Structure 1
Amino acid sequence: MPRARRDKVVSLTKVKKKNRGTKENLVTEIRSCSDTYPYIYAFNLENLRSSGFKDVRQHFKTNSRFFFGKNSVMGIALGKTKETEYAEGLFKLGQHLSGQCALMFSKVPPSTVTNYFQTFHKEDFARAGDIATDTFDLPAGPLPQFAFSMEPQLRKMGMPTTLDKGVVTLVKEMKVCTKEEKLNPEQCKILKAFDYKMADFRLGVSAIFEKGKGLKIL
């Protein structure tokens, strides 16, 4: 016989007072969603792009709820042991959370969700530390796409520019990056200035919890 939901006291004694209310609310909302939704999906957010995730939330806005928070707090809501789990089997999901994670409580079945994320991707600008997917060179010459007021900023990025009759001009050829090179902040700024996107944001489901069936690690 399935066990009843447990109304357990949440211990957040190590949390600063100004944050305690927010974290207690997160615990309450996660537990409420555990009662309401039949599926819980866990995501790893190591390469999170806010613009890409906004599209995901928009796609599932009518049938799902997303939660971000410290794993320790989300773990309290779900339960970290069999004795403290909020509902049958949830402690296994609580133990699974590691790194930067998000939870999606949903009415959408796993086949539909996994199919969506297998095809979902969104191009974005690279960040410092990302690996260049292409070699990007700039030939010497005028850069009419930039206003003359941008020239000092481009020089600060490391570009050999000058103003020639009011037109921003690259005085010599420049190699911005080489394929498979680890990008630094200045390179990323230049790539963004030229609207060159090297990041491909994808989001995969790391685990699925289904009421009555338990946890499945993917």
Structure 2
Amino acid sequence: MTPPEIIYADSALLVVHKPAGLLSVPGKGPDKQDCLSRQVQQLYPEALVVHRLDMATSGLMLMARTPTVQQVLNQAFAARTIHKRYVAVVNGCLSAHTGHWQCIDLPIALDWPNRPRRVINLETGKPSQTRWQVLHTDTTRQQTRLLLEPITGRSHQLRVHLLAIGHAIVGDRLYAPEVVAFASERLLLHAHSLEFVHPLHGQTLRFESPVPF
């Protein structure tokens, strides 16, 4: 497995590329201790987690180097002033015009009998919004490449929202129908860009990671 790549480092924070198949933080059990946070801490022992990506998702993650910066960045995520965009390949051809933003606004709740799955639940779900636009439609493969912008940050939000509109992400072993789940060796979801205001000097930073699929 490719080790995490440090995209940017200064005295306050790190921007790291997480490969697909690597946990963001340790899981339960001895077989789930290898993860991005621990690998990064071998280089930067003080590094602190600010947010996570699903194990199957690749792309950019932000980490803090002091508790104070961690708190500021956590508050920025809560205030939705840190902007993340993803690229995904989904099953089926979407008819929306290329480059036009659309929005999925459906509440998400934990599916207790089938944890860790999430479901759309209009009564108990938490408000969840995802913006999306078509980048490219492949009529031969019957797939569409999308640019995604989560407004909220619910667990599995992108995967659940796209499934809800009938276009599961290709390679999604947790949510997609079997034929879609095994159409790729990996989940075709990548955290492509990250933009935020630096917590110390106030400058806007933007990073992009090439899409590996």
Normalised by the length of structure 1, the TM-score is 0.25
| CA radius of gyration, larger in | 1
Higher relative contact order (CA 8 A, sep 6+): 1
Q: Which has the higher strand share?
A: 2
Q: Which has the higher helix share?
A: 1
